[in-house]
Structure 1
Amino acid sequence: MKNFIQNETSQRIIFVGLAILCLIPFVSSPIALALGIILAVFIGNPFEKNLHQYIHLLLQISIVGLGFGLKLNEALQAGKTGLVLTVISIATVMILGYFLGKIFKLDKSLSYLISVGTAICGGSAIAATSPIIKPSTKQISLALAIIFTLNSVALFVYPPIGHFLNLSQEQFGLWCAVGIHDTSSVVGAASKYGNEALKMATTVKLARALWIIPVSIMTMFIFKNKESKIKIPYFIGYFILAILLNTYFPFFESFGSVITVLAKSGLNLTLFFIGSTLSLQTLKTIGIKPLAVAIMLWITISVGSLLYIIH
């Protein structure tokens, strides 16, 4: 499909206008993502080449901002609640991903990237393990395209299912943190469901992201590359610091709600950016076999964690 607007200046104006629109509080996370996808498909993204480096930075800043809306006891309780489910789900996805990769005869590196992205935290996990695995650029792009596509689907599908099953805020937040790959979509779906769901989802997901470290060490032995450096998600430390400041210093508590609102707007902008990179050209690169493996892993972790949470 050709873009309706070919003029780059016009594309830039529309891009900036939609980005500003996503900062307005009444624009929800799914709408922000949808606007990005519509822009990519019908208009074109004039900033696509340079946008990826800002997506992760903006996401990290937004996540740290959300920390000012949490108290330490809430964070500890959420982390404790999700610990067992986190361990079970990560182990299940990594093992199942290995066997599905063998069955579908996927390249070992691509199969591993899809598995680790599904098991831990989407694009961040793929970015952390790629320097160790040393896959081709095409394999990294393919794994990211699959993960971001399924994230987009989850952002629209999870909230209606949660309401249909009458899940509590805490149940839905925990389900999002385990069942959705990338942190941006986890927080986006949870924020649409409610503030308590957002608190649970953010804390459990970031605690889950710390598993990048032991999984990266395991990856070194699997791919026999002990010289690679482990990429540690240091921004989680700033998230914890924000929680501590909000808990023990009334000065920060007084404007914590303002920071939280700004952080949610930043998250919406992040989702708009992500959506704007999902062009038809990107989606066409996704093969049937890797997509089938990713969908099977996603269904397994989504349905399995939901049944665990309910029962």
Structure 2
Amino acid sequence: MTDVPARPLDRAGRLLPGLALATGIAVVATVIGRFLPVVGAPVSGVVLGAVLGTVRRPGAVVRPGITTASKTVLQCAVVLLGAQLSLLQVARVGVASLPVMLGTLVVCFLAAWGIGRALGVVGNLRTLIGVGTGICGASAIAAVTPVIGALSVEVAYAVSTIFLFNVAAVVVFPVVGHALGMSQHAFGLFAGTAVNDTSSVVAAASTYGPGAADFAVVVKLVRTLMIIPVVVALAWLVGRRTEAAPTPDGAARPAWSLRRVFRLVPWFLVGFVLVAAVNSTGVIPGPAHPVIAAVAAFLITVALSAIGLSTDVAGFRRAGFRPLLLGGSLWIVVSLSSLGLQALTGST
């Protein structure tokens, strides 16, 4: 009698304890996020996970499930994020909004490279803070993490940094908007391009007015599309570095080809695009969108809870204040560039 049918059950049994632990933390984090929407469930999850992981390091029993939650569950969440987007939404934002969105993205990445080097923040942590600030916070960090192979402590630090300046934006941005006499449309574009997490975008824009909130959410969702070219570019860079590294036996690596480029595209990014394309056709009914969005948000919380569990908290102390200073600098740069590009394009 063969034991092949039992293997999937054995694997599920090994993964279940860690998945259950991460899910339990995510449930608590989701409740906290409901009462403190500015903080949000993902940040609560990574903090709770880090605290529990510090009190008691995860043992061998839960470690396989935690690893699966921090990788596979994270990738599945990114696929579901595609259901929040539609090609029609991109068109509705208007050509006038695109220069501001693309401009702030380019400025953010250049600043992340330059300021990061000046501060001595290099490697994956600089990349995570850059994409988190430039695109869409935890969602962008979630998409990039498996591509570049970031460590859990780097992910936790980046998420926490983005969260801190999201909270600052919720308080500061409405004051700035009123001081500058910005219209509802202009402030919605400002919040949508310079605030990262969706809940923080809604919080800042709703304070300014319902018109600002509606437009800011659409701009924020369109910004999420930038995940696609950024992840592909990072996958290509990682592949090039791997190619440049010497092989153990000294043999030459195969030359680049179109097939190799396509193979670098992560499966979950393909899923993200396919789900967005399906959503554009109207096949997914309207009432299903909030449900899918909630599931995606919960899966991200599960994944970040697992990342928190496996985080080396001592790594925060080793990282020092420089990554936080990088996050603050990028927040200011993106905010000023958004205002400046609106003035140049006449969006104000």
Query: Which bin holds the TM-score, normalised by the shorter protein?
Result: 0.5 to 0.7
Distance 1:293 1:31 in 2: 22
Aligned to 1:241: 278
Distance 1:98 1:153 in 2: 21
TM-score norm. by structure 1 comes to: 0.66
Alignment match of 1:88 (pick from 94, 97, 103): 103
Report how far residue 76 of structure 1 moved. 1.0
Paired residue type of 1:190? V
Alignment of 1:127-138 (within 5 A): 127=145, 130=148
Counterpart contact for 1:19–1:272, Cα < 8 Å: yes
Distance 2:134 2:341 in 1: 16
2:65 maps to 1:65: no
Aligned to 2:194: 179
Distance 2:122 2:36 in 1: 40
Distance 2:97 2:227 in 1: 9
Aligned to 1:150: 161
Larger C-alpha radius of gyration, 1 or 2? 2
Distance 2:339 2:173 in 1: 10
Report how far residue 261 of structure 1 moved. 1.8
Paired residue type of 1:151? I
What SS does the aligned partner of 1:30 have? coil
Report how far residue 22 of structure 1 moved. 7.4
Distance 2:317 2:142 in 1: 23
Structure 1: gaps of 5 or more residues: 1-7, 131-136, 247-251
104-113 vs 301-310, which deviates more? Answer: 104-113
Paired residue type of 1:158? A
Alignment of 1:101-140 (within 5 A): 101-107=116-122, 111=126, 114-115=129-130, 118-120=133-135, 122-123=140-141, 126-127=144-145, 130=148, 140=151
* Matched pairs, number: 280
Aligned to 2:221: 202
2:274 maps to 1:259: no
Distance 2:126 2:95 in 1: 30
Identity of aligned residues (%): 14
Report how far residue 202 of structure 1 moved. 0.7
Report how far residue 280 of structure 1 moved. 7.7
Structure 2: gaps of 5 or more residues: 1-17, 207-212, 245-254
197-206 vs 44-53, which deviates more? Answer: 44-53
Aligned to 2:9: none
Counterpart contact for 1:146–1:294, Cα < 8 Å: no
Paired residue type of 2:95? K
Counterpart contact for 1:155–1:188, Cα < 8 Å: no
